[in-house]
């Protein structure tokens, strides 16, 4: 360990780390462009200048190591002057198009100019013009060379993280520019991350481009439900509506740092899957009576389930549901109704997997379902579907799964002919929901609180970002109401209370609670 002083305050930090790492560790502020904790050190933007006692001039904090007794000044006159000079050079050929730049509001060049800038420039406004302005470089990203400050983050991301070697710096001096290598296209499965790490408006996301100014966005921490990795994300939604642009409420997803799960990144598949939150949703109850309401429909469902034979009904639960909802599913269907036919795994649905973030299991909570439902070898739904096809089942209660997608449209057609009653509870329209007798519209992960368990047993929080559509309810709320009608009294007010009981009953979640889970989650007890 090393004892150092930063801006007059004493700290003890790990010996040999860089000054900028020490500054971040003690929650101090220092401007930076090229530095990113997930990438190698380039040291080419030069704005992270600090003054260090007994060193001549100033040094860059990203490439200077701390040493015992080092005294560092980030706010001294010498340090601030150096930062201002560097910023002025970075702005020498930068276009003055902030009002029309899509990065406005989250641009570090704007932010640092306001804090460190030289407002009376020594340069004239005859700036070098570069060729590519608002040019597509791939399916997801637009490039504006004039705005680039040559931080090289995008170059290093392609070289070090995806190993796809997409970008390079071409030319010399004030004619140097970022560009895609000749004959290439930015089409790797993590391409959206270059827009996240670009500190200016040089690389922008096509999907979000000109959709909304960022100061109208609200943010909520959550977890991506796209696969069993459980990447930590920020759900960014419209918090105010000064003018109406679209019907979408959720505007984009951004990766959130968790060094134990996804570091600073997320895949494009998960990033752009947010559209299912607002599009193609089930928003109305379907039941036997006209204009059904929740109370009447749940009473109808309860009446059906009370008469159901233990062996004549099949439950198909969902690993898209939270731990709390799976726990209520177990309490209601397995413990109280004592159904014998239950499953949750869909066969043949494994997708693409790589050796970085993407997992082949496209469900966020398979491990949670395994541990909570405890079905063992019976967790695959194929046996239930086969019985339904043969007409051996009176009814099916299905959560989220589309049997047409899993087993084919013809199989679903046969099941509809053979099974008397099908109840579907889920979020988005699909052929299974369309043929069901009763449909209970549920909310998505962005509209509720709860937890998912990822592939390694890490339990992580999801948090409500937007209000549910009118007429939809969280699965846990639907199950609680249904349980009450079936004589099972469960006095839970929030998912947190359900999780507390889950932790008491299931050894995997032993001694966990929402407070302990925090923002990074906990690995469950083995």
Domain spanning 2-90: which CATH class is it, in words?
alpha beta
Any idea where the domains of the chain sit in the sequence?
2-90, 96-106+123-210, 294-523
pLDDT at 125 over 70: no
Arithmetic mean of pLDDT over the chain:
92
Give the span between the Cα atoms of 400 and 442, in whole angstroms: 9
Dihedral of the CA atoms 446, 451, 454, 456 (nearest 10)? 160
pLDDT recorded at residue 118: 64
pLDDT at residue number 370: 96
Confidence tier at 150 by pLDDT (50, 70, 90): very high
Percentage of the chain surpassing pLDDT 90?
80
- Higher-pLDDT residue of 288, 373: 373
pLDDT band at 123 (very low <50, low <70, confident <90, very high): low
pLDDT tens digits for range 175-219 = 899 999 999 999 999 999 999 999 999 999 999 999 989 999 999
Q: What are the helix (H) ranges across 135-189?
A: 153-156
How distant, in Å, are the alpha carbons of 73, 136, 320, 383, 426 from that of 468? 50, 35, 17, 35, 13
Contact (Cβ atoms closer than 8 angstroms) between residue 480 and residue 488: no
Look at residue 415 and tell me whether its pLDDT is greater than 80.
Answer: yes
Token pair 């997320």 is found at: 266
Per-residue pLDDT at 89: 85
Asked whether residue 526 carries a pLDDT value surpassing 90, the answer given is: no
pLDDT band at 248 (very low <50, low <70, confident <90, very high): confident
Give pLDDT, residue 98.
85
When pLDDT is cut at 50, 70 and 90, the band that residue 165 belongs to is very high
Element (H, E) at 482: helix 475-485
Flag whether pLDDT at 153 surpasses 70.
yes
Q: What confidence category does residue 117 fall into, taking pLDDT thresholds of 50, 70 and 90?
A: low
Question: If one looks up domain 96-106+123-210 in CATH, what number appears?
Answer: 3.30.70.20
Confidence (pTM): 0.92
Q: What is the pLDDT of residue 427?
A: 97
Say what the pLDDT of residue 523 is: 95
Highest average pLDDT, of 103-112, 113-122, 314-323, comes from: 314-323
Residue 51 Cα to chain centre, angstroms: 39
Q: 379-382: long-range contacts (C-beta < 8 A, 24 or more apart)? A: 379/343, 379/344, 379/345, 380/343, 380/345, 380/347, 381/316, 381/343, 381/344, 381/345, 381/346, 381/347, 381/406, 382/343, 382/347
CA dihedral 252→478→417→306, nearest 10 degrees, is: 170
Give the sheet arrangement for strand 217-223, strand by strand.
217-223, 232-238, 250-255
**Residues facing 396 on adjacent strands:** 314, 422
- Domain 294-523 class? alpha beta
Is the distance from CB of 335 to CB of 476 less than 8 angstroms? no
Classify the phi-psi angles of 45: left when phi > 0, otherwise alpha if psi is within -120 to 50, otherwise beta: alpha
Mean pLDDT, residues 29-46: 93
Q: Average pLDDT in the 405-424 region?
A: 96
pLDDT at 99 over 80: yes
Q: What is the mean pLDDT of residues 14-41?
A: 93
Q: What number is the average pLDDT over the span 446-454?
A: 97
What is the arithmetic mean of pLDDT over 25-50? 93
Top-confidence residue, 436 or 98: 436
The 3-state secondary structure of 29-80 reads CCCCCCCCCCCCCCCCCCCCEEEECCCCCCEEHHHCECCCCCEEECCCHHHH
Query: Is the pLDDT confidence value at 241 over 70?
Result: no
């Amino acid at each position: 360990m090393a004892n150092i002083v930063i801006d007059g305050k004493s700290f003890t930090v790990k010996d040999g780390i860089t000054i900028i790492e020490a500054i971040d560790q003690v929650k101090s502020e220092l401007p930076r462009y090229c530095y990113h904790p997930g990438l190698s050190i380039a040291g080419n933007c030069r704005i992270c200048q600090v003054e260090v006692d007994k060193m001549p001039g100033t040094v860059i904090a990203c490439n200077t190591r701390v040493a015992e007794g080092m005294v560092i000044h980030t706010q001294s006159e010498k340090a601030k002057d150096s930062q201002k000079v560097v910023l002025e050079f970075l702005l020498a050929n930068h276009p003055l198009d902030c009002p029309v730049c899509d990065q406005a509001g989250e641009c570090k060049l704007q932010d640092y100019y306001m804090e460190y800038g030289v407002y009376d420039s020594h340069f004239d406004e005859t700036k070098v013009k570069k060729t590519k302005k608002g040019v597509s470089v791939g399916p997801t990203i637009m490039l504006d060379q004039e705005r680039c400050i040559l931080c090289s983050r995008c170059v290093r991301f392609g070289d070090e993280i995806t190993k796809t070697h997409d970008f390079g710096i071409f030319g010399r001096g004030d004619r140097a520019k970022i560009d895609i290598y000749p004959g290439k296209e930015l089409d790797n499965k993590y391409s959206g991350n270059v827009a996240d790490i670009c500190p200016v408006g040089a690389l922008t996301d096509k999907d979000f481009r000109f959709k909304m100014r960022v100061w109208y966005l609200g943010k909520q921490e959550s977890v991506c439900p796209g696969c069993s990795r459980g990447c930590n994300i920020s759900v960014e939604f419209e918090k105010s509506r000064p003018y109406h642009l679209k019907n979408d409420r959720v505007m984009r997803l951004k990766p959130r740092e968790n060094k134990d799960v996804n570091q600073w990144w997320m895949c494009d598949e998960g990033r752009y899957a947010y559209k299912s939150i607002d599009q193609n949703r089930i928003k109305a109850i379907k039941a036997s009576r006209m204009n059904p309401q929740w109370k009447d429909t749940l009473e109808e469902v309860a009446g059906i389930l009370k008469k159901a034979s233990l062996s004549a009904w099949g439950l198909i639960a969902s690993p898209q549901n939270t731990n709390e909802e799976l726990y209520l599913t177990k309490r209601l269907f397995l413990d109280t109704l004592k159904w014998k036919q239950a499953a949750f795994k869909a066969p043949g649905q494994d997708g693409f997997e790589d050796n970085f973030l993407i997992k082949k299991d496209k469900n966020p909570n398979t491990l949670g379902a395994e541990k909570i439902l405890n079905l063992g070898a019976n967790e695959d739904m194929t046996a239930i579907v086969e019985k339904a096809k043969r007409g051996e089942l009176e009814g099916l209660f299905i959560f989220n799964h589309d049997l047409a997608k899993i087993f084919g449209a013809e199989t679903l057609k046969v099941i509809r002919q053979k099974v008397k009653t099908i109840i579907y509870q889920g979020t988005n329209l699909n052929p299974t929901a369309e043929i069901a007798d009763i449909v209970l519209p549920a909310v998505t992960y962005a509209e509720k609180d709860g937890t998912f368990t990822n592939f390694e047993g890490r339990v992580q929080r999801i948090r409500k970002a937007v209000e549910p559509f009118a007429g939809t309810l969280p699965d846990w709320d639907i199950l609680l109401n249904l349980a009450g009608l079936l004589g099972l009294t469960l006095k839970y007010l929030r998912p947190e209370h359900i999780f507390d009981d889950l932790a008491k009953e299931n050894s995997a979640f032993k001694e966990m609670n929402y407070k302990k889970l925090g923002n990074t989650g906990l690995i469950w007890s083995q």
